[in-house]
Structure 1
Amino acid sequence: MRVRVEFTTEPFHGEDDQLPAHVTVSAEALRGAGLTPDLGPLGTSVEGEAGIVVDAVGAALKEALSHGATRVTLTVSDLDAAVAPPATGVATDLSDGLARLIAEVEAQLGGSLSGLPRAQKQHAVRLLEERGAFEMRRSAETVAEALGLTRFTVYNYLNRIRETDATGA
């Protein structure tokens, strides 16, 4: 069985926009197990065979907690059981306002949101926020599905965007 594990460690901020130690040591633990983590200040994800990934993530979380993480949130998905989303990542009925906004952002960024690297996914969330997408009911779930992320990760991206906008940093 193949799985995707996505976890967020808190606190989110490091000094001078550097990744906090709890993020970097957890990534090193994953790399030490032969995995290739996708990491950032708001979350880390890794995919692979369930036995390897689950053991490696356990070690990574122990490292994170011993290096300053105060809270960990974790999501595990069975990739073998996942159903492939439509090509646009959302319902194809573009009369729906949110689907239309997502389609606009996909067109602007040149492809499906789920295939974007982390930084571009964060940019997509910013573009959707600027267009008012998150004012719609259940939008975070729909956007998360289109991005191939968890709702929790989308909320983390949104919180970071809103905090940065509020502080002007």
Structure 2
Amino acid sequence: MELEAEFTSEPFRGEGEPPAHAVKAREAAELAGLRTEFGPLGTSARGDADAVLGALPAIARAALDSGATRLTLRVQPPGSTATDRQETGSVLDGMVREVEAELGSTLAELDRPGKQRAVRLLEERGAFQLRKSVAAVAELLGVTRFTVYNYLNRG
């Protein structure tokens, strides 16, 4: 059986290079032979269930030893993510349409202050509680995920 572990380390940093704690956690997963998908503050690692479960202590240690103040972890069989993405997509699409209507423009056409406002409005509606929503919103805005996290941290 295969498993997917998704882990996020904090503190978040704005634009630029990812923080050492995120990089070291990913490296620990790769050293354990897991396939990774690296994001600015979240990483997915897949592999055989025993390999994933065996790697979790090393991943946690690497992140915490490298400056993480918090590590959030979710483990599940990878097949369930397709349904998650479909549900996230339709719910997020509705939120984005509402925000675009409120701001009078598509997210991509907004200037920087408009994009910051859009992120705040989406956060108020709970958009960033949805799985993979930061990446989806970043793509719609035409910015990086780091930029979206930066906008979120400015609150």
Q: TM-score, normalised by structure 1?
A: 0.55
Instruction: Decide whether aligned partners of structure 1 residues 7 and 34 sit closer, same or farther in structure 2, where only a CA change above 3 A counts.
Output: same
1:25 aligns with 2:15: no
| Residue correspondence of structure 1 range 115-154 to structure 2 within 5 A | 129-130=118-119, 132-136=121-125, 138-141=126-129, 144-145=130-131, 147=133
Equivalent residue for 2:13? 13
Distance 1:11 1:63, change over 3 A: same
RMSD: 4.2
Q: Cα gap change, 1:23/1:130 in structure 2, threshold over 3 Å: closer, same or farther?
A: closer
Residue by residue over 1:85-139, the C-alpha shift from the partner in whole angstroms, topping out at 9 and shown as x without a partner, is: 5498326xx8xx427459xxxx989xxxxxxxxxxxxxxxx69935943443x44
- Secondary structure at 1:69's aligned position in 2? coil
Give the C-alpha shift of residue 9 in structure 1: 1.6
With CA pairs under 8 Å and 6+ residues apart, which has the higher RCO, 1 or 2? Answer: 2
Gaps of 5+ in 2: 100-105, 109-114, 136-145
Greater share of helix: 2
TM superposition outliers: structure 1 runs of 4+ over 6 Å: none
Per the alignment, in what secondary structure is the counterpart of residue 17 of structure 1? coil
Per the TM alignment, residue 68 of structure 1 is displaced from its structure 2 partner at its CA by 2.0
Which secondary structure does the structure 1 equivalent of 2:74 belong to?
strand
Per the alignment, residue 4 of structure 1 pairs with 4
Query: Could you say which residue in structure 1 is the equivalent of 2:153?
Result: 163
The 3-state SS of whatever aligns with 2:76 is strand
Distance 1:41 1:88 in 2: 20
Q: How many residues align?
A: 133
Task: Answer yes or no: is the 8 Å Cα contact 2:119–2:148 preserved in 1.
Answer: no
* In 2: Cα distance, 1:135 partner to 1:160 partner: 16
AA matched with 2:151: I
Q: Cα gap change, 1:132/1:148 in structure 2, threshold over 3 Å: closer, same or farther?
A: closer
Offset of residue 10 of structure 1: 2.1
Amino acid at match of 1:98: M
Q: Does 1:90 align with 2:90?
A: yes
| Preserved contact between residue 2 and residue 80 of structure 1 (Cα < 8 Å) | no
Q: Is the 8 A contact 1:90 1:145 kept in 2?
A: no
Change in 2 beyond 3 A, CA 1:87/1:19: closer
Q: Does 1:70 align with 2:60?
A: no
Q: Which runs of 5+ in 1 are unaligned?
A: 110-125, 150-155
CA shift, 1:21, in A, is: 2.3
> Take 2:117 and 2:48, find their aligned partners in 1: how far apart are those partners?
33
